[in-house]
Amino acid sequence: PLLQAESEEGAASLLQFDPARVYAVDYLFAEGSAQPMSRWGHSMLRLVVCKPGRVPGPDCRLDLEYHRVLSFRAFVGDVQISNWRGLTGGYPSRLFVLPLQQVVDEYTKVELRGLQSLPLQLGRSEIASLLERTAQVHWSYDG
């Protein structure tokens, strides 16, 4: 299981991915911004998760409320974010699991940055391996 952020601020829950419900994985790229720590953009992975009961296929791309984003981000415990610490790696990074809509809102409405989602050509076994490795890294990585 993974600890996923919920839509409500500060809320989290455990999420267990069923590889059979993950139809596809996309490379999700947020454009850079004028902020020093965001100048080069941000790379993430978008998991295209089918809603319960749907047979995996292209229609799963319509199930946006079930899509999740895997994102390495700074773990900031400070009330005020330090640009210097952000630029120089002064914050530890963690692998976050976020609802797609939260990521879309954050980048397009709050930060006014563009997002691009590019499908990756992964087979079923590659998706299953990615999910397994994601769980391992999620609980062990603190960089």
Q: Which residue range forms the structural domain that includes residue 103?
A: 2-6+14-140
- Mean pLDDT for 3-24 is 82
DSSP-derived 3-state class of residue 36: helix
Q: Domain count of the chain?
A: 1
pTM for the complete prediction?
0.82
> pLDDT tens across 32-87, in order?
666 656 656 689 999 999 999 999 999 999 999 999 999 987 777 666 777 776 66
Q: How far apart are CA 109 and CA 88, in angstroms?
A: 26
Q: Which residues contact 135 (CB under 8 A, 6 or more apart)?
A: 1, 2, 17
The one-letter amino acid at 90: G
Q: How far apart are CA 64 and CA 135, in angstroms?
A: 22
> pLDDT tens across 88-143, in order?
677 788 898 999 999 999 888 887 788 999 999 999 999 999 999 999 998 887 76
**Pairing mode of beta strands 2-5, 68-74:** unpaired
Higher-scoring residue by pLDDT: 44, 15: 44
